[in-house]
Amino acid sequence: MSDSRVPRRRRFLVCEPRHFAVQYAINPWMQPDVRVDVDLAQEQWQALMSAYRAHGHTVDVVEPAPGLPDMVFAANSAVVVDGRVFGALFHAPERRPESTHYDTWFKAAGFDVHRPEAVCEGEGDLVWTGRYVLAGTGFRTTREAHREVQEFFGHPVISLTLVDPRFYHLDTALFVLDDDNVSYYPEAFSPGSREVLARLYPDAVLATLDDALAFGLNSVSDGRNVFIAPQAESLATTLADRGYVPVPVDLSEFRKAGGGIKCCTQEIRS
């Protein structure tokens, strides 16, 4: 079945983890007294970049700024649909300066950037499916931002409520496989949101708690190849059975800050 899955070349924006560290705690994964191995983080990040390029994807890099250890998590900086950029207004004051650096990059690259009025954390909580935006709320991005996103893009926005603080962003609990399907961990969502997802995606690939805790849902798919944490073994097996090709990339050092593959990857859809 994997031969019937068609990959689509993507353009990604990333940020080197030159200043990556855990200096504060804004999610349950972050423990400031836990040391980050910066050399290992660099090695793991480079492996992800190599995997993307090996599969034909384009990678653009924004310059990291000193004093912004979470800037490596490029997905939170914006959501880009049809060449339009909806920027970020971070919930945590420690991360708010990141927006200026990403906005500068987008503008230099020829994009106009919309500055949100409500708290909004980019692709961390806003997942473009090709038809509409799945929008997470409960811990970071607000429902007011969901309305703002719909007005800006003119695409339907479907609000989903997250209920487990370990899965504080939508991209830790769900990712898009292709234009027709997603993978998610049901218990990360409120009962009503689970019903919505079940109606929208009756054939979704459901993940276990172990898969989710391994950041297996913080994955990136090009429609065929799924760049996934190797620790999410059960999910990788299920994906392979469904015709996708798992591409294991270990970003375990970034889990100390509550991040993974998708967190480090912003998709630019022109």
What residues are labeled active site?
Answer: 169, 263
| Residue 219 and residue 175 in contact, taking contact as beta carbons nearer than 8 Å | yes
Beta pairing, strands 182-184 & 174-176 = antiparallel
Residue 11, number of CB atoms within 10 A of its CB: 15
Distance of alpha carbon 207 from alpha carbon 154, whole angstroms: 31
Binning the chain into helix, strand and coil, the percentages to the nearest 5 are 35, 20, 45
Give residues with Cβ within 8 angstroms of 185, minimum separation 6.
167, 173, 174, 206, 207, 208, 209, 211, 212, 217
The answer to whether residues 225 and 198 touch, using CB atoms and an 8 Å cutoff, is no
Torsion of CA 116, 13, 268, 167, to 10 degrees: -60
Q: Report the C-alpha gap between 216 and 229 in whole angstroms.
A: 5
Contact yes or no for 51/250 (Cβ under 8 A): no
Gap between the Cα atoms of 56 and 13, Å rounded: 14
